[in-house]
Structure 1
Amino acid sequence: MPRKKRRTFSTSQKEQAVKICLRSSKSIAQVARDLDLPENSLRNWVRQAKIDEGGPSEDGPLTSEEREELKRLRRENRDLQMERDFLKKAGGLLRQGELVAAKAYEVIEAEKANFPIKIMCKTLGVSRSGYYAWLKREPSQRAKANEELSAAIVEIFDDSRGTYGSPRVTEELEAQGFEVDRKRVARLMAKMGLSADLKPKYRAVDTEPTAELAANVLDRQFDVDEPDRVWVSDITYIWTAAGWLYLAVVIDLYSRRVVGWAMADHMRAELVLEALEVALGSRKPSDAGLLFHSDQGAQYKATRVRETLDAEGITCSMSRRGNCWDNAVAEAFFATLKREHVYRTIFLTQDEAMISIAEWIGIFYNGQRRHSTIGYCSPVEYERNYYAELTASQAA
């Protein structure tokens, strides 16, 4: 059955129908039937006409003229927002000085799924006809060579687990037979957002009241006989093209399960509190008590963290100063995370990293990955076996 065409009405049709309706003693429904008009449409036209007769007003419904003005302003605002968002992405290109049309076209091509071509051309000062003409041209030999070189660079960078800068990448390229200088490699790496800057720049942590250091109650006693008896926690950093991301985890020592985690672009005490709250939201401390162990980081010494632990009846334990072995389980987890997942991936945004890491922890590490310390079971399976045995022994 052919689809019925949607009816449209001119301004004069609407005005005439409204006038007939207002002058008639008939109901709107009857007038609509008589004029073969949609009843709801006619009701809307009549309502708008009455608003228009009242003139502009600061309160109440908008007149037709005001509605048209609002549409225009919204359209302009939408275009301005898109221009602003596009400028953020193209800012590096614009800061290079004189804009080369070919570079502008490359940016437009890369972002055409996110922004209208018309707006991008206007923002970068190039014509749409020029862009479409550029699309039909064959890539230059230099462009083809750069494409091949870029692919090789990405492969080398990935193989190095993101640790090679342009000097080492250049050496590896030359070993593979490429004739290339380091400046060109550095330029292509920068264009693709590849950086071997593995050490995060120093970020000042907001100072806040801190509590006294806790004793090292755990004392490297990593073998625990029941879940939720000892939790260990630590913070690490993850590189993304959009900046450093910080991850805090809480790990149950019995099963090695990550029972709580949080990620943010800062490493303030809130990061630890969020990870702790996630753990407490899904776990119940053992009847024998719960020990929470960490290093002596400012976040863990924060009064708010200690108050939260005290309120939950959790005993606080801290590693000796500068001794990473006192928190070896958390350190080992971060090493596994980075070796098996982070170093195999280039995260363009922090949101992308958050989703990917959360999936790796929640689905793979906790639920699937076999852990040598717990008899090559996954943490979830190990806990399931514990509670099955506990239930069986209580029923006996």
Structure 2
Amino acid sequence: MKRTQYTPNEKAKIVIEILQGEQSIAELSSIYVINPNMLNRWKREDLEGLPQVFERSSLYYQPVKPSIQDLEYKAAIDRIYTKSLFFGSRRIALALSEEYGYTINRKAVQRHMLEMGIEAIYPRQKTSTPNPRHTVYPYLLKGMNIQRPNQVWAIDITYIPLATSWLYLTVIIDWYSRYVISWDLNDSLHIGFVLEASKKALSIASPEIMNNDQGSHFTSPKFIEPFLNAGSKISMDHRGRAFDNIMIERLWRTIKYENVYLMQYESPKAARIGLKKYFEFYNTERYHQSLGYQKPADVYFQI
């Protein structure tokens, strides 16, 4: 059998999977058809001496350790925002004081919200514009009857609090069946983890319409072009309109109340393992009232 040649970037991806520890060397050997001894050798090699793509994933390194106080503020802001998407920094500051006893000014709340990648959801005047080099597509879902799997997908990003840091979670969901097609985590808002989730999803199927907001990740050609090449149309929410992508907003609330807030993950590894188990449960075991108490996987695969 001819030996498969792996690029440095492909090796980096595999080494990161080894370091994450979600699957054993034997399991990864089977998946990638690589001798376990080779994988162990890659693991032992000094990552610092390999190509830049072999650098440790940002998931394992944060240059500045956040303070316990800042983490507590962010965790409280996340709970308040998840419950009340329309709360801006002024109302969140008031809620932090009344519900949590925190004395924090509005500008500090705005700073935390910016780091968390969140903003209040309500109609408002245009306060920012997308990158002028990026195309903004029209919203295509208004009045649409969504009645089959892969007719519409949606994607977004949310904040996941940890004991000593935080992560960002991106998810692609099938609108009709509520099936989570793919997801990924990262400790920064760099576009790479969004592209990885998109790649995973498009290896499974392709949507007729990909719906997303106008954030810089989702107006980037790096994100859009793979979907256009797969024959998908792009739909973009109006800025500040949560209900344009309501399926994702409901998913965030479900994930956080049923898993994240209950589990209180200590580390990125624990969050990856825990969320992987939760999404398996969500797709294959959780009954959804909106689906007539069917499970997303059963509806998505038309079982």
**CA RMSD of superposed structures (Å):** 3.3
Q: Distance in 1 between matches of 2:153 and 2:138?
A: 15
Match of 1:375 among 289, 292, 301: 292
Q: CA, structure 1 residues 264+210, in 2 after alignment: closer, same or farther (shift >3 Å)? A: farther
Matches within 5 A, 1:213-228: 213-219=136-142, 221=144, 223-228=145-150
Q: Are positions 1:247 and 2:159 aligned together?
A: no
Match of 1:365 among 266, 282, 288: 282
Structure 1 residue 220, shift from structure 2 partner:
5.9
Task: Work out the number of aligned pairs and report it.
Answer: 196
Structure 1 residue 199, shift from structure 2 partner:
8.4
Q: CA, structure 1 residues 301+162, in 2 after alignment: closer, same or farther (shift >3 Å)? A: closer
Q: CA, structure 1 residues 311+169, in 2 after alignment: closer, same or farther (shift >3 Å)? A: closer
Q: Are positions 1:321 and 2:275 aligned together?
A: no
Structure 1 residue 226, shift from structure 2 partner:
1.8
Matches within 5 A, 1:278-289: 278-283=200-205, 285=206
Q: Distance in 2 between matches of 1:325 and 1:169?
A: 28
Give the structure 2 partner of residue 310 of structure 1: 228
Matches within 5 A, 1:42-121: none
Identity of aligned residues (%): 30
Matches within 5 A, 1:1-396: 200=112, 202-203=114-115, 210-219=133-142, 221=144, 223-283=145-205, 285=206, 290-361=208-279, 363-384=280-301, 386=302
Structure 1 residue 200, shift from structure 2 partner:
4.4
Q: CA, structure 1 residues 356+266, in 2 after alignment: closer, same or farther (shift >3 Å)? A: same
Q: Distance in 2 between matches of 1:319 and 1:379?
A: 24
> Which of structures 1 and 2 has the larger relative contact order (alpha carbons within 8 angstroms, sep 6+)?
2
Q: Distance in 1 between matches of 2:194 and 2:143?
A: 21
Does the Cα contact within 8 Å between 1:269 and 1:300 map onto a contact in 2?
no
Q: CA, structure 1 residues 279+198, in 2 after alignment: closer, same or farther (shift >3 Å)? A: farther
Q: Which runs of 4+ in 1 moved over 4 A?
A: 161-170, 197-201, 207-210
Structure 1 residue 166, shift from structure 2 partner:
11
**Tell me, which stretches of 5 or more residues in structure 2 are unaligned?**
1-64, 66-77, 81-94, 103-108, 118-129
Q: Distance in 1 between matches of 2:276 and 2:110?
A: 21
Does the Cα contact within 8 Å between 2:116 and 2:159 map onto a contact in 1?
no
Q: Distance in 2 between matches of 1:203 and 1:250?
A: 22
Q: CA, structure 1 residues 345+307, in 2 after alignment: closer, same or farther (shift >3 Å)? A: same
Q: Distance in 1 between matches of 2:251 and 2:111?
A: 19
Q: Distance in 1 between matches of 2:175 and 2:96?
A: 37
- Give the TM-score of the pair, scaled to structure 2: 0.57
Does the Cα contact within 8 Å between 1:291 and 1:317 map onto a contact in 2?
yes
Matched letter for residue 287 of structure 2: R
Does the Cα contact within 8 Å between 1:246 and 1:265 map onto a contact in 2?
yes
Structure 1 residue 268, shift from structure 2 partner:
2.2
Q: CA, structure 1 residues 168+293, in 2 after alignment: closer, same or farther (shift >3 Å)? A: closer
**Tell me, which stretches of 5 or more residues in structure 1 are unaligned?**
1-91, 93-160, 171-181, 183-196, 389-396
Give the structure 2 partner of residue 59 of structure 1: none
Deviations 1:30-78 (A, max 9, x none): xxxxxxxxxxxxxxxxxxxxxxxxxxxxxxxxxxxxxxxxxxxxxxxxx
Matched letter for residue 251 of structure 1: I
